[in-house]
Structure 1
Amino acid sequence: MGDPHSGLHSERGALAGEHPGRAANPVVKVHDLAWLEFEKPDLARAEVFARAFGFTPTLSTPHELHLRGTDPGAPCVLVRRGPRSKFRGPAFLAAAPGDVLRLADATGRPVGRLPETLGGVTVDLPDPSGLRVRVVADTEELPALPPQRPQELNFGHDVRRVNATQRPPRAPARVQRLGHVVLQTTRYRAALDWYLDHLGLIVSDFLYYPGQRERGPVMSFLRCDRGATPADHHTLAMVLGPADRYVHSAYQVADLDALAAGGEYLREHGYHHSWGIGRHIEGSQLFDYWRDPDGFLVEHFSDGDLFDHTVAPGWAPLTASGLAQWGPPATADFLGVKPGKESLRELRAVFSALREDNEFDAQRLLGLLKAARS
């Protein structure tokens, strides 16, 4: 049997006439993700998991929870109390305060002030899936916290540690920062172009269904365009699917030992492990995926790729085996096909999507099924 990863590491780019992966004249170019916003019914339970995952709360009231990493900046995650669990949307950090005004003028949306706990201003925009997307500026910057130091490693004959042992503590991995969010949409091409046109994101990699490249991509990994300054391989990833929904979010930790020992801590405390440990292909991150008590998928990652604006998009087929260079096979839980309420909800969404006017049609469904088995 041949190597299932054959060809997935190639640097091959677009064919003639394919999507260029960036807008010629975007309204603004955002600098980074600022935070993600959720609603959850039980904030006390959410905080217990957050501490075990490696966050530090900066605000904890019966109605609101703010979670930060050790890097300076705004909190990574804002959680407000609500009747049911819900992803409210991402907030992106503007590269300059005037960009919020520029976006507001271009879209006819008002500029609003954020709460005093965050400071600054925002313009709130609906993307083509109806998700609220915030672009913020002048937010309060929290000072850095003491970071978790990476382990000193001996690499083959490159010896850096002598007369000392390795004993990484089995304790929560200290989250450094928010890395990216992945969203599924029934209007993938419209959403892709919207983020390129409005926020100036650029594509690092496109994926297409095997045998359907001529119909265009179905997943993209988008990074911030910081010019010659390298940025994360992806800050936002989007995938075509039968429902508009949150897929997962990812948070950087110091190194593999922090990720692995932190995972053992989560396992010992009864939390649900979804998939990992492994190394991705697109982005190259070391990864480990967990479910929080509300069912949201969250990722610890380390050692991701950084690209500047000169790197053109790569193109590769979307396959289950192509999600990792090494590690265990992608689980049914990670792929969203594990029997249960979530898979039933997704199945119902398939039938609804096929009846509606969107990009998820019967041929795309066949491509998805083929990708999941390949």
Structure 2
Amino acid sequence: MIDPAAETPPAERLITHLRHVDLAVPDYERQLEFYTSTWKLKAETTDSGLAFLAAEGSPEQYSVRLRRSDDKRLDLIAFGAASPADVDAMAERLGRAGVQLVSEPGPVLTPGGGYGFRFFDNDGRTVEVSCDVAVRQHRRIEEGESVPVKLSHVVINSPNPEQTVAFYQRHLGFALSDTLMHPRLGSMMWFLRTNTFHHSLAIARGPHVALHHASFEMRGLDEYMRGTGRLLRAGVEKIWGPGRHLAGNNTFSYFLDPHGNTIEYTTELEELAEDTWHPHLYDFSDPEVTDQWGTANPMNELIAGKSFNDPDKGVFVAPPV
């Protein structure tokens, strides 16, 4: 079986890495309490109804932004670039291709500053690309600390996943690492990379545009399991895990935040030798594909339904901040 997304010629790669994921939430205080006290991100900057939450091991100014809003939505996904010249080149390339820009390249007005721009992807999500953001003073996470080191990857739902995969390959230079398929359902999830890590973005087939999950890297297996256990003791709803995926070879424990967004603790995401890597097509009806260890609850329709999330109310509507 040939995946049509694998045939899309990629653009020149100008994106270097994933920066942060921004969420709009109606119950702002409850979400802020959860992401700081329970999930263990650090509130570096807070304003009236706006919080910038950092992973303590990351040089990024923040990994999650929370914004008070009447509507639950994914405000944006942010990626890094190496230089203002690369930011300008990407904005020009997208504009020539007819992609709708939300803002032209210019100063970034969030913590750390920098230079960047925003645009809508083919499904209407807002995406930001920036460079020259000030490096945050971060620290080494010590043995036994069950706090996130960094934002690992973001997975999004699309009702048109083949087109969405092709968009990120053709316009942004993402490369396909692996694909998950099902004998009856066809291709269901595509893992895309923009550096040597197996994926920083993945596209899942879903009934509507929405966030599938955001994943946070832990220091190691012990810290990952300690974090998983800490959330279980706190009564946070776990929907899947702990286990280890085959695609990416990373561990997984999926939980729901207070607004029903799926978030994940993970560790040991695979780094690839890009010159020799060939994408796999994995059949996720095989239990070894979804969980090599066999320790997680079986993947079923309930788990899949939780990850569909609510339809995103921010489609083709740029966030106000």
For the criterion TM > 0.5, the same-fold answer is yes
* CA shift for structure 1 position 332: 5.0
Q: CA deviation at 1:68?
A: 1.0
Residue number in structure 1 paired with 2:17:
32
Question: Which of 119, 129, 132 is equivalent to 1:138?
Answer: 132
Distance 1:20 1:247, change over 3 A: closer
CA distance in 2, matches of 1:27, 1:239: 24
Distance 1:18 1:41, change over 3 A: closer
> What SS does the corresponding residue of 2:216 show, helix, strand or coil?
strand
From the superposition, tell whether residues 42 and 28 of structure 1 become closer, same or farther in structure 2 (CA, over 3 Å): same
Instruction: Name 1:283's counterpart in structure 2.
Output: 248
CA, structure 1 residues 59+123, in 2 after alignment: closer, same or farther (shift >3 Å)? same
Partner amino acid, structure 2, of 1:334: I
Which residue of structure 2 aligns with residue 115 of structure 1? 109
Cα distance in 2, alignment partners of residues 337 and 288 from structure 1: 14
Q: Distance in 1 between matches of 2:222 and 2:60?
A: 25
Tell me how large the CA RMSD over aligned residues is: 2.4
Asked if the contact 1:30–1:95 (Cα under 8 Å) also holds between the matched residues in 2, the reply is yes
Q: Which amino acid aligns with 1:192?
A: V
Residue number among 308, 317, 323 corresponding to 2:273 in the alignment: 308
Is this contact kept in 1: 2:23–2:72, CA < 8 A?
Answer: yes
Change over 3 Å in CA distance of 1:98–1:254 after alignment to 2: same
Match of 1:194 in 2: 167
| CA distance in structure 1 between the aligned counterparts of 2:175 and 2:7, rounded to whole angstroms | 5
> For residue 223 of structure 1, what is the amino acid of its counterpart?
R
**Which residue is 2:158 aligned to?**
185
Task: State the match for 1:176 in structure 2.
Answer: 149
Deviation at 1:275, TM superposition (A): 1.4
Match of residue 330, structure 1, among 299, 303, 317: 299
**What amino acid does structure 2 have at the position aligned with 1:272?**
E
Residue 128 (structure 1) aligned with residue 122 (structure 2): yes
Aligned to 1:76: 63
1:267 Cα deviation from its structure 2 partner: 2.3
Change in Cα spacing, 1:98 to 1:260, as seen in structure 2 (3 Å) is same
Query: How far did residue 64 of structure 1 move?
Result: 0.8
State, as a whole percentage, how many aligned pairs show the same letter.
Answer: 24
Which residue does the alignment assign to 1:61?
Answer: 47
Structure 1 residues 297 and 118 mapped into 2: Cα distance closer, same or farther (>3 Å)?
A: same
Structure 2 residue aligned with 1:89: 76
Shift of 1:43: 2.7
- Structure 2 length as normaliser, TM-score? 0.85
Paired residue secondary structure (2:142): coil
Q: Is the 8 A contact 2:61 2:111 kept in 1?
A: no
Amino acid at match of 1:67: L
Aligned position for 1:352:
none
Distance 1:308 1:96, change over 3 A: farther
Note the C-alpha offset of 1:333: 4.4
The change in CA–CA distance for 1:145 and 1:223 in structure 2 (over 3 A counts) is same
Distance in 2, matches of 1:25 and 1:258, equals 37
Cα displacement (A) at 1:277: 0.8
Measure, in 1, the Cα distance between the counterparts of 2:184 and 2:259.
Answer: 37
Candidates 27, 37, 47, aligned match of 2:32: 47
Structure 2 CA distance for aligned equivalents of residues 314 and 255 of structure 1: 26
Bigger Rg over Cα: 1
Indicate if the aligned counterparts of 2:5 and 2:165 stay in contact, CA closer than 8 A: no
C-alpha distance in 1, partners of 2:106/2:6?
Answer: 31
| TM-score relative to the length of structure 1 | 0.73
1:289-310 CA-to-partner distances (Å, cap 9, x unmatched) read 1111111110000112111322
Instruction: Give the alignment of 1:288-299 within 5 angstroms.
Output: 288-299=253-264
Runs of 4 or more consecutive aligned structure 1 residues displaced over 6 Å after TM superposition: none
Once the two structures are superposed, what CA deviation does each residue of 1:306-360 show, in whole Å capped at 9, x if it has no partner? 113221111122437332112221365432169xxx78x68xxxxxxxxxxxxxx
Residues 335-346 of structure 1: matches in 2 within 5 Å? 335-336=304-305
1:147-182 Cα shifts (integer Å, max 9, x gaps): 132xxxxxxxxxxxxxxxxxx5xxx72110011111
Letter in 2 for 1:218: M
What is the deviation of 1:211? Answer: 5.1
Which whole-Å CA distance do the structure 2 matches of 1:243 and 1:320 have between them? 26
- Alpha-carbon distance in 1 for matches of 2:285, 2:128: 32
Q: Which residue of 2 aligns with 1:154?
A: none
How far off is 1:212 after superposition?
A: 6.6
Residue 44 of structure 1: how far off its partner (Å): 2.3
Cα deviation 1:191-230 (Å, max 9, x = unaligned): 11110112111011022331576xxx33210111x4xxxx
1:86 Cα deviation from its structure 2 partner: 1.4
Q: Structure 1, unaligned stretches of length 5 or more? A: 1-14, 150-167, 347-374
Matches of 1:270 and 1:307 in 2, distance apart?
Answer: 36
User: Could you tell me how far 1:286 is from its partner in structure 2?
Assistant: 1.3
Which amino acid counterpart does residue 244 of structure 1 have in structure 2? V
Q: For residue 65 of structure 2, what is the amino acid of its counterpart?
A: L
Contact 2:52 2:62 survives alignment (8 Å):
yes
Pair 1:246-2:211 in alignment: yes
Gaps of 5+ in 2: 96-100, 312-321
Alpha carbons 1:53, 1:173 under 8 Å: kept: no
* Whole-Å separation in 2 of the counterparts to 1:96 and 1:334: 40
